[in-house]
Amino acid sequence: MYFVFVPSVLITVSGNLLVIIAISHFKQLHSPNNLLVLSLAIADFLLGLFVLPFSMIRSVETCWYMGSFFCKLHTSIDILFCTTSIIHLCLIAIDRYYAVCEPLHYASKITIRVSWSFITLGWVLPAIYSFGIIFTKSNEQGLEELIEILSCEGGCLLLLNKLWALLNAVFFFAPCFGMIGIYVRIYTVARNQARLIQTMEDRTFSLEDSTRRAQQNREQKAAKTLGIVMGVFLICWLPFIINIMIDVYLKFATPAAVFDAFIWLGYINSTLNPLIYAFFYPWFRKALKLILTLKIFCPNSSRMRLYTE
């Protein structure tokens, strides 16, 4: 079991660390959109560093050795990073909407300052939610007798009452439906733009037109990539969210092994994100090559061009 879990933890940590180094180091990548991607990678990196090792031990040993307080802390941090991911994906979808659907207003509406405001919002709200629900024990109200029966020495349970199971589903599905709507709109606009470009192929383009087309294509590819990221997020986390929502009505009858499998399927999402970037982002592949060959330690390496403007 450890031979299965340890590589996934290492890939999660190292993969997201490479994304963090790439966006932080290369000045060309210091855009509003990439700041949001950077913050998402930080959440995935911290999940791999501070949550997955302890979850791995709990899953393999079927026992929690770290005490009740650390169980609450671990659960809170787990919820924090996972909730941060979905909020960041929602904010990234909004960023891509303006980039593709309103390109003339994008630079004025989505600035670096606006991105930092988005990032602050994307971390503060999940922190209030995750630590508030666990340390106030509001999720356990009405389940006291059941928790007393299910609790045991060496256990670390997350149980949600009917109210919080419903709210948790709302907090998950509302942003998801919003993101789906945004990406459908982006796809429609991008398709119309592609058709317009196709009809103008025989025209002689000026340098400014060519630059605009290259920028437009890059924004559309970024939107497509981040749409794939969102789709993978849904596939990974949907089974766990649905299980949490219905398990309270089944008196928490889900077998521990099945529950653990759903949790780890969600965790795998943080492992897959850097792999998606590597497969679909040419700039990330180039940055990865420069990092692994240690060329980032060369003078002025931060000013290297990863793509043409």
Read off the tokens for 197.
Answer: 């470009």
- Chain position carrying tokens 């660390």: 17
pLDDT grade, residue 154 (50/70/90)? confident
Q: Which fold has domain 2-303?
A: Rhopdopsin 7-helix transmembrane proteins (1.20.1070)
Instruction: Identify the burial level of 251 via C-beta atoms within 10 angstroms of its C-beta, where 0-12 means exposed, 13-18 middle and 19 or more buried.
Output: exposed
Tokens representing 112? 């670096």
Residue range 195-213: average pLDDT? 58
Is pTM beyond 0.75 here? yes
Tokens of 289: 């090559």
Higher-confidence residue: 224 or 19? 19
Average pLDDT estimate for 51-69: 90
The reported pLDDT for the residue numbered 63 is 85
Q: Indicate the range of 21-30, 84-93, 140-149 predicted with least confidence.
A: 140-149
Assign 219 a pLDDT band (cuts: 50, 70, 90).
low
Question: What phi-psi label fits residue 264: left (phi over 0), alpha (psi between -120 and 50 degrees) or beta?
Answer: alpha
pLDDT of residue 170: 87
Task: Out of 35-39, 154-158, 247-251, pick the least confident.
Answer: 154-158
Mean pLDDT of the chain: 84
CA atoms within 13 A on the CB side of 117: 7
**Closest by Cα among 88, 12, 10 to 274:** 12
Question: Given this model, what pLDDT does residue 221 score?
Answer: 66
Q: How much is the pLDDT for 9?
A: 95
Question: Per DSSP, which regions of 95-240 are E strands?
Answer: none
- 55, pLDDT greater than 90: yes
Q: Using 50, 70 and 90 to split pLDDT, how confident is the model at 50?
A: very high
Pick the range with the lowest mean pLDDT from 11-20, 229-238, 287-296: 229-238
Over the stretch 271-284, which tens digit does the pLDDT of each residue have? 988 888 777 778 88
Domain ranges of the chain: 2-303
With tokens 């000013």, the residue in question is 303
pLDDT bin (cut points 50, 70, 90) of residue 249 is: confident
Answer whether residue 308 shows pLDDT above 90: no
When pLDDT is averaged across residues 210-224 and rounded to a whole number, the result is 62
On the question of pLDDT at 215 being above 70, the answer is no
At residue 229, does pLDDT exceed 90? no
Average pLDDT of 155-175?
84
**Averaged pLDDT for residues 284-290:** 88
pLDDT > 90 in the chain, percent: 29
Q: Are 26 and 287 in contact (CB under 8 A)?
A: yes
pLDDT on residue 263 = 92
C-alpha Rg value of the chain to the nearest Å: 22
Contact 95, 15 (CB under 8 A): no
